[in-house]
Amino acid sequence: MKKIFTTATLFLFFIGISYAQEMVNMQMMQKIKDEEKNNSQIAKIAHDITDVSGPRLTNSPGYKRALDIVTELCKSWGIENASPEAWGEFGKGWSNEIGTLALKAPYYENIIAYPIPWSKSTRKNVRAELVMLDHLDTANIDKLGDAIKGKIVMIKPTSEFIPDAFNASATRYGDSSLDNLQDDYMLTPDQLNQFLPDAKRDYYTKLYLSKKGVIGLVRSDRNSRDGTVFVDGGAGYDKRFEATLPEIKTSREDYLKLFRLINDHKKVELEMNVQNTFYDNDLTGYNFVAEIPGTDPQLKSQIVMLGGHLDSWAGGTGATDNAAGCTVMLEALRIIKALDIQPRRTIRIALWGGEEQGLFGSFGYVKKHFGDPQNMQLSAEQANISAYYNLDNGSGKIRGIYAQSNPAVRDLFKSWLAPFADMGAAGGVTMSNTGSTDHLSFDAVGIPGFQFIQDPLEYETRTHHSNMDTYDHLSIPDLQQAAVVVAAFVYNTAMRNEMIPRKPLPKPEKFIFDLDFPF
């Protein structure tokens, strides 16, 4: 009897531990792995979103090509209700047709350069003298007087050197560090309040340059080295804001050479040809949405969401930022559909527009469907979202997940990561927060929103918002691993009896990116 009692007690104890850690369907986890291994569509999806679509500024032709591509792709897989969905007004689209810069005097040389989105075109292929301002402000412009008219302007570099190249561009996380990651990409209202006055001053000073007759602006930054040029955009998409003068971003090496020539009192002439097109026939912003309907009569009205942002900047084709995340989420959905899983809850994918200007697409969607964090008046739909999973930190494999200060999900997520330890997802669940991407829109209204932890690779050092953000800087094996992990998380969330545990509702507060002045 004692032996029987002990065995039974141990059995019940271990069953209890299993339930505490969440029972995982290991057979289904293996099916998900096998489907990705044998039938992966990652490379094709990524090619379609990057090479075929091109740069994807919101409301640009490239963005609309991408919307068409992902819509047809999901329909071909049998995913339901695949279509663009309006989230509100964004503004004008923009595309660059020609963008060249060349040194013409004291000799000829091509310069690596990319036009700034939503800046104007040059009137023609212009050749003009280059002059230098100590700072981009009205006082320095006025100091040059009429001499600035008809010139191309550059700003004196704050550093006359490029960073050394001794540190590796690409890195991966060590397994032991994942549970203890600190907050990342988390902007505070105070930080934004410090940034916005500078952004406004920069914008209005560029308008002042135009008023003074300047025909072009050339700029660079400290990290645009070795052929990499980091280039994002301005405020000209917003109908309230006038487009600024033709502006072009150059490599650091070229920029410092121009500086040295001017500093040596040599006459420098540039040839600048920037031809851009604005699109204002439809100012509405669109996301992409599709879903696999739930099948459980009691749970099918509840939703599991996954997504990433479809828009990009225009220097490259937005591969790591964020075709990578979109590709993974689409592939995760394809895996679930290909395995003919009948999810208890509805699974909905959303690919966002306007993220680069301030999470516009996801925040517009959240306000439309769930409520506004400023007053916390929430809709009935808000209570039916179990979780939103986001991917937007480059091409690296998933190593864990940010719990976004929600301790109730820690053990749950660790048990979901455990089957993928052999693939590098070592179970890292950090209580820390990560920000500046679309899960924040959900978190702001009390919906569990999560961003996965990814290996950094060369995201910040080489590709993020740069001309090198192209297909060839994607790690296809890492994205395949990520698709498996995401498919598992979505499956588990859709099939468990309970919804994902929630934090207490946040207090009413204006969303951090709900700003009057656009980025």
SS3 call for 474: coil
Strand partners, 30: none
d(CA 303, CA 384): 6
Strand partners, 115: 248
Measured from the Cβ of residue 169, the count of other Cβ atoms closer than 10 Å reads 15
Residues in the chain where the model's pLDDT stays below 50: 1-20
Q: Is residue 417 part of a domain?
A: yes
d(CA 235, CA 359): 15
SS3 call for 426: coil
Query: Do 363 and 227 sit in the same domain of this protein?
Result: no
d(CA 382, CA 81): 20
Q: Is residue 512 part of a domain?
A: no
Query: Do 302 and 169 sit in the same domain of this protein?
Result: no
d(CA 283, CA 89): 6
User: Which of 279, 303, 333 lies at the terminal end of a domain, its last residue?
Assistant: 279
Q: Is residue 345 part of a domain?
A: yes
Helix-helix angle 324-338:26-39, to 10 degrees: 120
d(CA 242, CA 236): 6
Alpha helix positions (H), 422-511:
439-443, 476-495
d(CA 330, CA 307): 8
Whether the CB-CB separation of 293 and 342 falls below 8 Å is answered with no
Query: Do 369 and 474 sit in the same domain of this protein?
Result: yes
- Of the candidates 414, 449, 408, the one whose C-alpha atom is nearest the C-alpha of residue 429 is 414
Strand partners, 478: none
Q: Is residue 162 part of a domain?
A: yes
The three-state (H, E, C) secondary structure of 114-176, written as one string: EECCCECCCCCCEEEEEEEECCCCHHHHHHHHHHHCCCEEEECCCCCCCCCCCCCCCECCCHH
Q: Is residue 508 part of a domain?
A: no
Question: Token pair of 141, please?
Answer: 């412009």
DSSP 298: T
Query: Do 375 and 360 sit in the same domain of this protein?
Result: yes
Query: Do 410 and 443 sit in the same domain of this protein?
Result: yes
Query: Do 331 and 388 sit in the same domain of this protein?
Result: yes
Query: Do 287 and 403 sit in the same domain of this protein?
Result: yes
Q: Is residue 511 part of a domain?
A: no
d(CA 424, CA 419): 10
Query: Do 323 and 441 sit in the same domain of this protein?
Result: yes
Query: Do 447 and 298 sit in the same domain of this protein?
Result: yes
Count of the separate structural domains present in the chain: 2
Residue 367 lies in domain: 23-90+283-495
pLDDT at 194: 83
Whether the CB-CB separation of 285 and 360 falls below 8 Å is answered with yes
Strand partners, 303: 346, 385
Greatest Cα pair distance, the chain, in angstroms, is 103
Query: Do 361 and 477 sit in the same domain of this protein?
Result: yes
d(CA 333, CA 70): 12
DSSP strand pairing (152-155 vs 284-292): unpaired
Query: Do 300 and 347 sit in the same domain of this protein?
Result: yes
User: Which of 263, 279, 295 lies at the terminal end of a domain, its last residue?
Assistant: 279
Measured from the Cβ of residue 34, the count of other Cβ atoms closer than 10 Å reads 13
Domain of 323, CATH number, reads 3.40.630.10
Q: Would you put residue 463 in left (φ > 0), alpha (ψ -120 to 50) or beta?
A: alpha
Query: Do 439 and 346 sit in the same domain of this protein?
Result: yes
- Give residues with Cβ within 8 angstroms of 280, minimum separation 6: 92, 93, 239
pLDDT at 21: 61
Residue for token digits 């306007």? Answer: 354
Residue for token digits 């600024």? Answer: 244
pLDDT at 77: 98
Domain of 168, CATH number, reads 3.50.30.30
User: Which of 231, 260, 279 lies at the terminal end of a domain, its last residue?
Assistant: 279
Cα 168 from chain centre:
23
Peptide bond preceding 110 in cis form (omega within 30 of 0): no
Q: Is residue 218 part of a domain?
A: yes
The three-state (H, E, C) secondary structure of 382-414, written as one string: HHHEEEEEECCCCCCCEEEEECCCCHHHHHHHH
Spell 81-107 as b/e; 16+ CB within 10 A means b: ebebbebbebbbbbbbeebebbbbeee
d(CA 25, CA 27): 5
DSSP strand pairing (80-89 vs 93-105): unpaired
Q: Is residue 199 part of a domain?
A: no
Question: Token pair of 293, please?
Answer: 């309907």
d(CA 136, CA 154): 9
Cα 277 from chain centre:
24
Whether the CB-CB separation of 305 and 385 falls below 8 Å is answered with yes
Burial tier of 518 (Cβ tally within 10 Å: 0-12, 13-18, 19+): buried
